[in-house]
Every structure is written in C-alpha cells, then in structure tokens.
A = this chain, B = another copy of it.
Amino acid sequence: VWLIGARGSVATTTIAGAAAVHNELAPPTGLVTALPVFAPIPLPDLSRLVFGGHDLTSTPLPKRAEALAAAGVLPAALLGVVTDALEAADADIRAGVDATSDEPPMAAIERIQTDLAAFVAAHDLDGLVVINCATTEAPLRPDPVHDDLDALQGTLAAGRPVLPPSSVYAYAALDAGWPFVDFTPSTGARLPALAALAVARRVPHAGRDGKTGETLVKAALAAMFADRNLAVRSWSGTNLLGGGDGASLAAPGPAASKLRSKRVALDAILGSRIEGDVHIGHVAHLGEWKTAWDLITFEGFLGVGMRLQFTWEGADSALAAPLVLDLARLMLAAHHAGQLGAVRPLAFFFKDPEPGAEHRLDRQWAALVAWATGLSRR
C-alpha cells in the first residue's frame, strides 16, 4: 500500500492501526471489510499489507503517532507496540511531488514510478495500490488536454505542468499498471485522459473524497426523507475542524473543492437543489477533532414545517483510516480479479463517487456487497 501524504494523520493512523489490528491488540472496529458478509471474499489479510509512500514533510511516523496519541486519536497504550511497524513504513517514505518546484512533470512521473518499482522489488510484492491521503488541492483550472490522453502526454512531454500533484501521482500509478484511489477531493484520476490511461493499462481506479463523517450521516438521513416522501426544504451544515486539516480546508481553494464534494449526495438523493450551504470553519483548538452541526428543515403532511438537527463529534483520522485499509484490500482484490477503469460499486466509501454512481447509502451498501461477492467467485 503506497500512501500519498504518508506522514499525515490519516496515513499514520492507517499504518499504526493495521499493525494493531492484525496483532489482535485492537478489534477491527470501523473496518467495513471485517464484517461477516465479506468473510468469503478473498481479500488480502491485513498482516500481508506493507506500507510506504510519498510525503513532503520529514517528521517521522513514530513522532507523528505520539502527537496523535496526545490528541486522543491513537490510544497511548498502542504506541509502543506499533513503533516497529511505523519505523518500517517510515523507511519506505520518499520525497513527494512539490507543486512549487520546477521539476518537469515527466521527470516527476518517472521518479514516482522508480520509487514504486523499488518498493515492489524490495518487498517482493505481488500487488500494489496507490492511495492519495494528502492535503486537499484547490479546484483544477480546466484545460483541453485533460480530455485527451495523447494530447496530455504530448503536453507533459513538452514540460508544461498541466496536472496538479494528485493527478501526477495518478498518472504515474496507472501508467505503471497499479490501481489508484483518491481519498481526498483533489482531482486525482478524475480526468478523461487519465480514465483512458487506466483502461489502456487495464487497471482499476476509484474515488473520491472519503465519506467519513457529516456526509455519511447526510447520505443515511437523505434516503430516509426520500423514502418517507418528506419534503426537505433546507439543509445547512457547519463543519468546525482543527489542526492542519482545518486550516487548509478553510482556505478558499480547498474549501471550494470540499464544499462541491459535500453537495453532491444531497442533490442526487433528494432530486433537486435543496437550499442551504455547508460552511467550513477552522478552530485550531479542536486539534484532530471535528464537530459538524446540520440543520434540516422539512415539511410533512399538509406542509407542516418540522426540523431535525444533529451534531457529529468525531476524529477524522480514526474514521478515515479503516476505510483506507478497506479500499486497499478491495482494490488489490479487484486488480487481481481483472477489473479495470472506474470501480463504481465503491461509491459507498466516497462523498463524490464517479458520475452516475449511486448516492443513497443503503443502495451503495447493497452495490458494494454484490460487487465484492462477485469478486469471490472468480
């Protein structure tokens, strides 16, 4: 498992948690693929996963884990027993792509592919999946070359930086024949040219933006309102986030990416543009924690107005990390089973799944189970 943003909170929790769970120091809570319904499916065991990745920072993983433990997001009691695993992964972290450097895009792509190949060789791996957990990028400025693989390749070869880092990673992974997952709202593989590349190289990809908190609740509740024929009139949300994630998401560029991603499910499930906005605020004191408050106004029989509000208090990395492991296991199995292109049945995991995918949480779940069960029969 190759993680982009390998020294961030999500990646650190992912690596520490995989070690803790496969050593039976913690139950697999939050790990969807640990549910009984997935037992017959030939997914790689957690104990067989090896972690590495790219990052721009140099704080070693064990130190990052200490900070997470101090914030209450990693149990302090686990720190000692997962240090080996963290150190091992830290030794496999390479310098990432820096959007502010003048490294030519093709040089960056080749460098990444060299890193991936070395990782596979060093650990004698029989599969690899690249998962983006790095900081959210601002929305991408459209460019016609994004729509055509030949044009894109020509432009990159000419040294013009038309791809954001997330898409540089996606290109490198897909081109090298490895599956790619975007767990963030960044562009990643969500460009026609990269979709074509995935099909050409016969590899699967999935994304985007892991559905970890408020949007998860939204998807569950929106389906409830729809099935009861209750008329939702407004749905307003406030997300207060601490830490680095909060600071970067509250900046206008990434906020635009995130907010667009958060709107998708509601409109898809309730069938029309529902009034109300999502607001993201940065509150450093919240640290690794996040609080979301949503107010939903709706009408019942004869137009009688009613309201539902909820407050969600969660630790983002503890919600995200098991899903990263789920996606790693499922994508490795999918690749092995010969799946290629966008994997729509993974919509259950994402805020902004492939266009045309299902958005209702219940139907996403059914689609996921049906698809995964299909894998087991190959």
Contacts and interface: CB of A to CB of B under 8 A. Distances in A.
Interface of A: 13, 16-17, 20, 26-32, 34-35, 72-76, 78, 216-217, 220-221, 223-224, 227-231, 233-234, 236, 238, 240, 275-277, 279, 281, 283-286, 291, 293, 295, 297, 299-304, 306-315, 318-319, 321-322, 348, 361-363, 365-366
Number of copies: 4
- 9 shortest interchain CB distances as A-B pairs: A362-B362, A310-B310, A220-B224, A304-B318, A30-B301, A300-B318, A306-B314, A233-B285, A238-B238
A275 B285 CA distance: 8
A216 B224 contact: yes
Given A17-B301, A302-B20, A302-B74, A281 B236 contact: yes
Binding site secondary structure of chain A: mixed
A313 B302 contact: no
B277 A300 contact: no
B286 A297 contact: yes
Contacts of A362: 223, 361-363, 365-366
A245 B158 CA distance: 54
A234 B289 CA distance: 13
A240 to B, nearest CB: 5
A273 to B, nearest CB: 13
Contacts of A17: 301-302
A32 B279 contact: no
Contact of A283 (B28, B276, B309): B276
A30 B318 contact: no
A284 to B, nearest CB: 6
A320 to B, nearest CB: 9
A27 to B, nearest CB: 8
A314 B301 contact: no
Given A236-B281, A275-B284, A362-B362, A228 B30 contact: yes
Contacts of A299: 29
A315 B311 contact: no
B297 A285 contact: yes
A231 B236 CA distance: 27
A229 B276 contact: no
Nearest to A237: B238
14 contacts: A29-B231, A30-B229, A31-B229, A216-B228, A220-B224, A227-B361, A236-B238, A236-B283, A275-B284, A276-B281, A285-B297, A291-B295, A300-B318, A301-B318
